[in-house]
């Protein structure tokens, strides 16, 4: 990866369908994004939904290196979610896949479409 790349922490979660498979597929898809590579992936872990109902989530955190800007990366993450059948019927709804940008280098981003951290 070139010098202008940035380290990004990504949270993954799913609690519908084949949740573990959805996370494994997401990690592979992220690693195949342009100018991006996965450096590390945490163990998968289970957590109860917060402010929501439904089955427990399977979660992981991934460290990536990318040259994509935060908004381009967000669009790529949304495409990965959509490919996994992600729907957004209401806030905190159960989901087939959630891909969240937790940290984008040291940037603080507060916009209508993206909030980091």
Separation in Å, CA 82 to CA 47, 78, 102, 116? 23, 6, 19, 21
Verify whether residue 86 is a known catalytic residue: yes
**Residue of 20, 56, 67, 86 marked catalytic:** 86
Verify whether residue 4 is a known catalytic residue: no
With contact defined as beta carbons under 8 Å apart, do 36 and 30 qualify?
yes
**Residue of 31, 51, 88, 98 marked catalytic:** 98
**Residue of 31, 51, 75, 95 marked catalytic:** 95
Verify whether residue 98 is a known catalytic residue: yes
Verify whether residue 95 is a known catalytic residue: yes
With contact defined as beta carbons under 8 Å apart, do 39 and 31 qualify?
no
Could you list the active site residues?
86, 95, 98, 100
């Amino acid at each position: 990866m070139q010098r202008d790349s940035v380290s990004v922490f990504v949270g993954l979660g799913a609690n519908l369908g084949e949740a573990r498979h959805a996370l494994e597929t997401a990690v592979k898809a992220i690693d195949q994004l342009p100018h991006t590579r996965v450096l590390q992936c945490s163990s998968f872990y289970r957590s109860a939904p917060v402010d929501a109902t439904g089955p427990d989530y399977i979660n992981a955190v991934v460290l990536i290196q990318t040259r994509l800007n935060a908004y381009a990366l967000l669009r790529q993450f949304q495409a990965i979610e959509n490919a996994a059948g992600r729907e957004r019927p209401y806030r905190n709804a159960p989901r087939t896949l959630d891909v969240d940008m937790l940290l984008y280098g040291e940037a603080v981003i507060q916009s209508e479409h993206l909030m980091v951290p």
